Each structure stands twice: as C-alpha cells, then as structure tokens.
Amino acid sequence: MNLAAKMSACITVSLALLGSAQALATTLNWSGYQWTVSNRTGGPGPNNFDDRNAWVDSNGYLHLKVANRNGVWSSAEIRLANPALSHFGLYQFHYLGNPAQLDKNLVLGFFHYPTADVGPDGTNEIDIEFSRWGQDSNPLGNWTVWHMVPNQYTSHRFELADPAGKSTHRYSWQPDSVDYQAIAGHVDAYSSGPLIAKWSMLPSDPAATKAGPGSTEYGCRSLIPAQCIAQKPQQFMINFWQFQGRVPSNGQEAEVVLTDFTYIPNGQLPAASCQVNAWDVRTSYPIGAYVRYGNTIYKAIYPSIATPPISKAAVNPWQAAAAPAC
C-alpha cells in the first residue's frame, strides 16, 4: 500500500469512537468482568454498532458479529466497565478459529482508547487489530502504538494464520515500552508458547523496535517514552467492524469467538524462548527459522537466507520439523 493510502487507512481506523450519542447502555458479563455493549452509529468506519451483535454463550465464550438484518449492516463493540479505565499491565485474549479466514473488509480490534481528558482521537491508543484493510495483499496482523502528537504512530504488520484454530494474543503496556506476542494455541497469561510473531515498541531503541520479520512503519520522533507511549489510564475496548463502512466482500455475515480475556495490572509478558512464524511469501527467514505452512511446521536448513515453500511439497531449503521446545 502506498504512503497516502496507508495514512488514509490508519486515520480511518481511529475515527472518533465515541463521537455519537449512545442509547441506554446494555451490559454483559464475560471472563469475570462487566462490559458495556455499544448501540450507536459513528466511527470507526463509520458503522452501525448494534447491541444484538455481542453475546456470551453457555461456554462463557464471547461472540461478536457483523450482521445483515433486512439489508441493514451492523457491527459489534464492547467496552470494559469495571474498571472503566485501566492502566499499565498485561492484556490478553484467546481467539477460537483461524484469523486468516476473516474477510478483507472486516476489522477485529482489541485496544486502549483515550478519553477526552487524556487526548484527542489519533493519540495515546494501543492496538491489536486483525484486518487486511480492504486489500488481499495486506498482512492481517497489525500492532500499533499511537503517540502523544495527533496522527503519529509506530506500527508493526505481519502475516497471521493459525490453521489449528486456537491462538493467544496479548500486549504488555509499560511506561517505557509496549510488548506484543501472538502465540499458537491457548496459553495462560503467565506462560509462553510457540510464537507466531512478537514485537516491542521501544522508543529509546529504534533499532530494536524495527527488528524481526514484518514491517515497522514510522516511529516516535522524540525517542522519549513519555511522549511516545500513553501514560494515563484509558478505556479498554474490543470491536468487530466494517472497514470504511464496507460490507464484507463475500456478502456474508461474519462472527468471531473469543474464549476469554485476562487483565493483570502491572503485568509483563513472560519470556519467550522460541518462535514459529506464520508463513509469508514476502518475508525471508534466516537458517534455523521455524515457519508454519498449512498444518506443518518447516525449518529453514539451506541456504543462509531462505524463502518459505509456496506449494504443499516440503522441498529444500526447508524440511518438516517438530515445533521447537519453549
């Protein structure tokens, strides 16, 4: 995506989330917390957020739906109510299903968003987002930290797939860093596992921030953590919505399922000793790297820089391998 298109997409994502009037609030209980369910029209998108599109099933799993009722499309959004504002700590959810199956016009967001007294739209936000922003060629995984200056951010994009149908996604928000992990399988917040991807937004260390496969865009110009990373408590939200208000490209309703949510005040990510990358034809991996392709894990064995397989056959420079031990 060119720079102009990228900036347009990112600004669209952060349209004022709470700019329109909300009807009498609906609430639900999930993972030991109370959540307010949105019933409003507005950003991001814009979208119609309908409180019928979020519910908890008999297993305790959260369902979020993009629905079509008599030709009117609507999306889903919930906001943590207790506590209404949250601060530094570890935030995690378990996803059920393969995120790679999400339609290119849809967005799943898991994020902190500022109240008016903290800062305007386009500042302070901390995001996990699954979306291709309307284009099949865009990576699905998006991790973004918005700075104190409006519409300045640092973002890391990566390919995200989990054919096994279970994955863990989390970030640790600290005063001087935001650390992200996507993990194959469901693990608790104190445990590690086979990494699909990881990234640290370290304002004081731009080289480290840009390390690893994937793309890192822009950066915090001041290199001062207090100007690059939100320092005040914010709203925590989860939403499933239509990019730029577009209906799904396949014309079908869509639903995502999150089995649980964890918040650990002042918590940090556990150390990870291994990594399994999601296969991405645009990325080169060093010798010894592990990549998940379909239901098989491959290891790069030759040459020193290898490109993942593009067919079902396991051919050099790759060989099928067991998952690395964590």
Q: pTM here?
A: 0.79
In this prediction, residue 310 carries a pLDDT of: 46
Answer yes or no: are the C-beta atoms of 47 and 74 closer than 8 Å: yes
DSSP secondary structure letter of residue 3: H
Give the number of C-alpha atoms closer than 13 A to the C-alpha of residue 234, restricted to the C-beta side: 25
Structure tokens at 306: 């290898």
pLDDT value at position 192? 82
Burial string for 206-229 (b: 16+ CB within 10 Å, else e) reads: eeebbebbbebeebbeeeebeebb
Could you tell me which of 238, 248, 242, 237 has the C-alpha nearest to residue 75? Answer: 242
pLDDT tens digits for range 26-61: 999 999 999 999 999 999 999 999 999 999 999 999
Report the C-alpha gap between 306 and 324 in whole angstroms: 18
Q: Is the peptide bond before 114 cis (omega within 30 degrees of 0)?
A: no
DSSP string across 164-228: TSEEEEEEEEETTEEEEEEEES---TT----EEEEEEE-TT-HHHHT-SSSEEE---TT--HHHH
pLDDT < 70 stretches in the chain: 1-24, 163, 207-218, 271-290, 294, 299-326
In this predicted structure, what is the pLDDT of residue 298?
Answer: 72
